[in-house]
Amino acid sequence: MNAPIQGTAADIIKMAMIDIYPTAAQRETPDPHDSAPRRALVGTGHNWLQAH
């Protein structure tokens, strides 16, 4: 019973993705290797509370 609705939704999303592709392809996407390095907080402990 839900399959026709899901199929229609998938078709709508597919058409939207096809329509937006030329615009998205023209945008400059930043190279992740050019960006500043990111830092992560790392902790250790017996549980989540002690680790952070």
* 9-29 pLDDT, tens digit each: 889 988 888 888 777 667 766
The range of the structural domain enclosing residue 47 comes to: 3-51
Q: Can you tell me the mean pLDDT for 26-39? A: 68
Count: domains in the chain: 1
3-state SS string over the chain?
Answer: CCHHHHHHHHHHHHHHHHHHHHHHHHCCCCCCCCCCCCCCCCCCCCCHHHHC
What rounded mean pLDDT belongs to the chain? 78
CA dihedral 11, 17, 19, 21 (to 10 degrees): -160
